[in-house]
Amino acid sequence: MANLIIDIGNSRAKAAVMRDGGLCGEYAATECSVAWLEEILSRHSDVCQAIVSSTGCDTAWICEWLEAKLGYVVAFSPATTLMPIGNDYLTPETLGADRIAAAVGAQQLYPDGDIMIVDFGTAITIDYVVDGRFKGGNISPGMTIRFRALSDYTARLPLCSATDDVLAYGRTTREAIEQGVMQGITHEIEGYIAAFSQEKAKIYTIFTGGDAKYFVKRIKNAIFADCEPVIYGLNTILDYNAKRR
């Protein structure tokens, strides 16, 4: 039997079908619709339960529709009480569901050490799992936000974007902006890694998110998550709740 994982982010909806802990199919759409869900379920007739997570939009109708189809659905939020890891966040009602789900997924994938998860998305989040507990983390502007801010809040600086070039310094204004943003993020993350390494003997640094590919070659000793920790985390949370219902 298989699980259906629905993760609705700021810019798109993602779905995954998991069977015995393995990924059977991945899907993406600009929005979650009945037609999209029906298409996924038609391809995976053995789906018997689901979990739905969102960073902001109302998912009540999705959960109701899936419950009528499948019978068991977890409407996931940071307030979900049955969790496979502890949560030390002081305001869980403000914690993004994707952050705690990624922490659960990373713990599942790397259970023998402490973990720093860097999600390179619209915002950059740096989160920590220590001794099997989500400790919290930090949030800063993502790469695209930084590029846009330099263009939007100045009179003459152009709007730039990511580059694969790694230069010590820019020799044109465009290069200066590209390297300033990307090297700035690089040094920011390297600082976090260095500080965490001093605190803990064995750590894993996990990179995920749409912009992670630009920083894997810039930052050493990081693991690029080819499997999304959020998806694996949501699958673990679904199984954990299903076994205890």
Range from 8-17, 60-69, 120-129 carrying the lowest mean pLDDT? 8-17
d(CA 176, CA 29): 36
The string of pLDDT tens digits covering residues 186-209 is 999 999 999 999 988 789 999 998
Q: Is 98 part of the annotated catalytic residue set?
A: yes
Catalytic residue among 98, 114, 119, 211: 98
The string of pLDDT tens digits covering residues 114-173 is 999 999 988 999 999 999 999 999 999 999 999 999 999 999 999 999 999 999 999 999
Closest CA to 119 of 135, 133, 140, 104: 140
Averaged over 12-35, what is the pLDDT? 93
User: Which pLDDT score, from 0 to 100, does residue 244 have?
Assistant: 87
The string of pLDDT tens digits covering residues 71-130 is 999 999 877 888 999 999 999 888 988 899 999 999 988 999 999 999 998 899 999 999
- Superfamily of structural domain 1-75: ATPase, nucleotide binding domain (3.30.420.40)
d(CA 132, CA 115): 9
Query: Domain segments of the chain: what residues?
Result: 1-75, 77-230+241-245
d(CA 35, CA 223): 36
Cα 98 vs. chain centroid, distance in angstroms?
5
- Predicted confidence band of residue 58 (pLDDT cuts 50, 70, 90): confident
If one counts every other C-beta atom within 10 angstroms of the C-beta of residue 203, the result is: 18
Cα 226 vs. chain centroid, distance in angstroms?
12
Averaged over 45-53, what is the pLDDT? 96
Closest CA to 62 of 29, 34, 26: 34
Closest CA to 230 of 127, 146, 79, 139: 127
The string of pLDDT tens digits covering residues 209-229 is 889 999 998 998 888 876 689
Structure token digits, residue 28: 């993406």
d(CA 150, CA 148): 5
* Domains 1-75 and 77-230+241-245 belong to one CATH topology: yes
> Is the Cα torsion angle 61, 65, 71, 77 positive or negative in sign?
negative
Architecture of domain 77-230+241-245: 2-Layer Sandwich (3.30)
User: Which pLDDT score, from 0 to 100, does residue 226 have?
Assistant: 64
Structure token digits, residue 211: 């912009």
Do residues 51 and 6 make contact, with C-beta atoms less than 8 angstroms apart?
Answer: yes
